[in-house]
Amino acid sequence: MRIASFFALAGLIFLQACTGSRLQSGDLIFIALPSDYSLDADAPEPVSETLNIIHVAIADVGRDGVSVIDATLAHGVERHPLDTLLSDFTLKDGKLPPMMVYRLKDNREARRFVSNARAFTGLPYDIDFKPGNDARYCTELVQDSYITASGDSLFKTVPLDFSLPGGEIPQYWSQLFAIIGRPIPEGPGYSPQTMMDSPLLKFVKNL
């Protein structure tokens, strides 16, 4: 009996470990690029080991498989299969960028947060990075979706900051906002890096 109990317990621990590493609804998928990555097609390959976090998407796991809800220039706010996200962010060399899965340390209201996010689908991408309008950028979508039953936002507003720890702005952001035709935004809000560093989140795995 003791041996059987041991193997039953070991099996349960193994199962929990495997389940814990799977994507769950409400998980956040952060996408990164080397800090010297350039949108210029003729630019040399990046060599920096410092990562610049450029995007976040919300995992929505259901009977139709693994989907994400996110806000991008290409789609606005949309729910689509995970494969669409992977295709959209495939790099010039055909490889995928680093993608990291984070989860709320207290994940009890994950279904509520995903349901909130679904309500924003169909809105355009917020190229002005301004709160309170009828558009959303990626981290703004998360901030406005992760609202608890008591009406509190988990992610309190902070100043927008697209710089690296040393204070420099990665050329990716400079190039992207030049394409959009907007200055690098300032004011209240969240950059993907700031959100990923939130003490509310824990790292789960690399996607």
Kindly list the distances between the CA atom of residue 102 and the CA atoms of 11, 28, 206, in Å, as whole numbers in the listed order: 25, 5, 9
Identify the pLDDT of residue 30.
98
Name every residue whose Cβ is closer than 8 Å to that of residue 136 and which is 6 or more positions away in sequence.
Answer: 71, 77, 120, 123, 125, 126, 144
Identify the pLDDT of residue 17.
38
SS3 150: coil
Identify the pLDDT of residue 42.
81
Residue 16: both structure tokens together: 């929990």
Identify the pLDDT of residue 16.
37
| Rounded Cα distance, 157 and 146, in Å | 12
Identify the pLDDT of residue 21.
60
Residue 52: both structure tokens together: 């610049």
Query: Where along the chain do its domains lie?
Result: 25-206
Return the CATH number of the domain spanning residue range 25-206: 3.90.1720.10
Q: pLDDT tens-digit profile of 76-117?
A: 999 999 999 999 999 988 999 999 999 999 999 999 999 999
pLDDT under 70: residue ranges of the chain: 1-21
Residue 44: both structure tokens together: 């040399």
Kindly list the distances between the CA atom of residue 48 and the CA atoms of 37, 45, 52, 75, 172, in Å, as whole numbers in the listed order: 8, 10, 10, 30, 13
| Rounded Cα distance, 100 and 207, in Å | 6
| Rounded Cα distance, 118 and 199, in Å | 25
**Alpha helix (H) ranges present in the chain?**
2-21, 82-88, 110-118, 138-145, 171-180, 192-196
Kindly list the distances between the CA atom of residue 65 and the CA atoms of 25, 58, 127, in Å, as whole numbers in the listed order: 11, 14, 30
Q: What are phi and psi of 4, to 5 degrees?
A: -60, -40
Q: pLDDT tens-digit profile of 133-142?
A: 999 999 999 9
Identify the pLDDT of residue 71.
98
